[in-house]
Amino acid sequence: MGFHRFDDEQRSKYKRAREDIGAELQQTYLTPEVLARPNHTVVCGAQVTRIRLNDAKHAIGVEFGEKKDGPVCFVGARKKVILSAGEINTPKILLSVIGPQSELSKHSIPVIQHLPGVGQNLPDHIVFNSCFPTRPRYSAGRYYTPKNFGEQLSQLVVIAQYSIEGRGPMTTNVQQCVAFVRVGDGEIGRKDHGHKKFDLPEAITITTSVLRPTSKRTVTLKSADPWDEPLIDPCYPATEHDVDILVRSVKLAYQLASTAPLKSAIDQTVKHPLLGDNLGSKSNAEIEDLIRSRAETGYHPSCTARMAALEDGGVVDARLRVYGVRGLRVVAASVQPEIVIGHTTGPTIAIAERAAELIKEDLLK
C-alpha cells in the first residue's frame, strides 16, 4: 500500500494538527472545508443495517436507521459503495447479504454471494500488563488520579503548566517507550477491561504483546436482527506458540524491572496480588496461569475481510473490491492480509489513502 512522501507542507499540517489539543483523525480529514462540500453529508448516530444489491449482484446502496424500531432510510449509490466500518462491524454488515452460506442460512438470511472468508481469520495483539510499584514521586499517576488535597493542588499546577507552556508531566502519552523484541522462534479470560478501576499503588507498567499471533478466530452473527451485536470469538490465545511467547515476554519484563537503572525506581517493600514484583519466583506454568486470567485485548483486531486470493479465504482483491460483487469496496483494517507487527492505525490510514487513489483511477477511466 505504501505511504505518501512526507514533504514540508504536510509536515507543517501535521504539526498544526498535533498542536490542536483535540485533534483526532476525523478532525484532520473532515475539515470545515470538506464538511461544507455540497456532495458530502455526514449522518451521526446512525447504524447501517444492510447493503442492498440488485439482481446483477451490484451494490446499489445501503439501508440505515437511528434506532431499532425507527424508520429505515436508504441511500443509493450511483457509482460504488465504500464499506469502512472497522474490523468488527465490516463483516457484520457484509453478512447481511454476503458471507459463508452456512452462517447466513443458519439465520435464514438469503445468500446473495457465498464468500467463506467473511468474518474469519480474526487475530489481535494480545497483551499482558506487568505492574511494578514505584518509589514516591517516580510515577505521574498522582497527577491523573490525585488521592489527597496536596496531589489535587499539584494536578492544578501541572495542568496550568501544560495549558500555558505546553510542557510538564501532562505532555506524556503514558506509553513512554516501545521496543520490538524477539523472544522466541516460533481459552483466556480477562478483567472487565475499561470498566473496572483497580485500587493499585503508584506503579509503572511494562506491557508485553504477541505481535505475530497464530490464534485466529471469528466474527459471526448472533441473529438476523441487524441491531444485535455480532458474536466475537477472539480466542485469547488458543495456540501453544502464543502462550509461549507471552510467558517469555513476561519473564523479560521482570528482568527489565530488576535491572538498573529501572530497578532504582521500584519500591521493593510494596506487595500486591496484581503487581509483578514476585514474577521472578514463579514457574512457567504459574506465569501461564496468570496470563490466562489477566490477558487483555490490544484493541488491534483485523483481517476479517482480508485481501487475499479467493481460494485462500480472501474477501477483497488487490484493489479492495469484494469478490463476486460489483460496486462494493472495503476500506478498513479488516482488509489487511495479516495483522501488522505494530500499531494498526498507520497502516489503516495508508490503506485509506491508497483506496482514495484507486477510486479516483476508476472514476477517470
The set of catalytic residues is 300
The rounded distance, in Å, linking the Cα atoms of 239 and 223 is 29
Q: How far is CA 158 from CA 9, 44, 140, 187, 362, in A?
A: 33, 35, 10, 43, 52
Cell numbers for 220, please give them: 459471526
DSSP string, 87-113: HHHHHHHHTTTEE-HHHHHHTT---SE
Across the chain, how many H-helices and E-strands are there? 10, 12
CB-CB contact of 213 with 253 (8 Å): no
**Burial class, 147, CB count within 10 angstroms (exposed 0-12 / middle 13-18 / buried 19+):** exposed
Tell me, what DSSP letter sits at residue 338?
S
Measured CA to CA, the distance from residue 82 to residue 321 in angstroms comes to 9
227 grid coordinates: 441491531
Q: Which amino acid is at 282?
A: K
Distance of CA 319 to the CA centre of its chain: 23
Instruction: Specify the residue for cell string 496550568.
Output: 160
Measured CA to CA, the distance from residue 201 to residue 214 in angstroms comes to 35
Beta sheet of 47-53, edge-to-edge order: 47-53, 59-65, 73-76
